[in-house]
């Protein structure tokens, strides 16, 4: 798909999104992701199915597959080259090469994951993305993003209007009262063992 609604979508579907791939892979990241998910999902009963919104090349899904070997995995990813590489991680038929904006799920997954993606969505498009995330959620939604109590835009690698911080999980719960907070935490980029990029995570359960 090339008829994107926002400049942010075009940005990630294009050359910048492809260049991102090379900066975000490898065994060190996989180890950090394993540590991250083992903590963030410790209150979750082994989820048999998962969909990741904005999966890139599947580094998160790889870690989840190590934790839950039998897990059925699906993904949505906007960048074509990332999808090509992701096809080596999960079945190609389980991948939607498209924007998460406008995604209409036709089923539920026990676990829905979005990690480092909402921060790059045009803010006025967030409500419909929240609707899609909740519609896809069978049991649990894990939101892992940069947090700020009030919305703020910051420069991202020399680009403006490409990174936004806010209380994404709080907004999801306000928009969808059936989503309840059951756990949350923070992972620091200076963690000497398993760093992440200053990520706040929030585990929500659907009631």
* Cα→Cα distances 186→63, 146, 197, Å: 18, 10, 10
29-57 pLDDT, tens per residue?
A: 899 999 999 999 999 999 999 999 999 99
63-109 pLDDT, tens per residue?
A: 999 999 999 999 999 999 999 999 999 999 999 999 999 999 999 99
User: Where does 51-155 have alpha helices with state H?
Assistant: 59-67, 80-86, 126-136
Q: Where are the domains of the chain?
A: 7-206
Residue 76, SS3? Answer: strand
User: Dihedral of the CA atoms 26, 198, 149, 202 (nearest 10)?
Assistant: 60
Span 171-177, average pLDDT = 98
Token pair 């209380």 in the structure block, residue: 167
Q: Which CATH number fits domain 7-206: 3.40.190.10, 3.10.580.10, 3.40.50.150, 3.40.50.1100?
A: 3.40.50.150
Closest CA to 40 of 175, 199, 167: 199
pTM recorded for the entire structure:
0.92
The pLDDT confidence band at residue 13, using thresholds 50, 70 and 90, is confident
What letters, b where the CB count within 10 A reaches 16 and e where it falls short, cover 37-61?
Answer: beebbeebeebebbbbbbbbbbbbb
Question: Using N-to-C axis directions, what is the helix angle for 168-175 and 126-136, rounded to 10°?
Answer: 70
98-150 pLDDT, tens per residue?
A: 999 999 999 999 999 999 999 999 999 999 999 999 999 999 999 999 999 99
Residue 195 is encoded by which pair of tokens? 């760093």
Strand partners, 109: 137
The pLDDT confidence band at residue 16, using thresholds 50, 70 and 90, is low
Cα 192 from chain centre: 24
Residue 82, SS3? Answer: helix
């Amino acid at each position: 798909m090339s008829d994107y609604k926002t400049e942010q979508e075009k940005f990630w579907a294009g050359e910048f999104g492809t260049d991102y791939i090379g900066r975000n892979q490898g065994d060190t990241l996989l180890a950090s992701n394993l540590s991250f998910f083992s903590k963030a999902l410790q209150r979750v009963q082994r989820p048999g199915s998962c969909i990741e919104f904005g999966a890139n090349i599947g580094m998160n899904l790889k870690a989840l597959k190590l934790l839950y070997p039998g897990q059925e995995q699906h993904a949505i990813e906007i960048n074509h080259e990332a999808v090509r590489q992701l096809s080596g991680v999960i079945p190609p038929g389980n991948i939607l090469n498209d924007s998460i904006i406008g995604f209409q799920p036709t089923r539920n997954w026990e676990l829905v994951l979005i990690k480092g993606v909402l921060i790059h969505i045009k803010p006025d498009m967030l409500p419909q993305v929240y609707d899609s995330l909740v519609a896809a959620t069978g049991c649990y939604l894990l939101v892992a993003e940069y947090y700020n109590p009030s919305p703020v835009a910051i420069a991202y690698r020399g680009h403006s209007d490409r990174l936004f911080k806010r209380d994404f999980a709080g907004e999801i719960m306000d928009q969808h009262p059936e989503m309840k907070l059951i756990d949350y935490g923070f992972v620091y980029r200076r963690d000497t063992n398993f760093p992440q990029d200053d990520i706040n995570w929030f585990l929500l359960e659907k009631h």
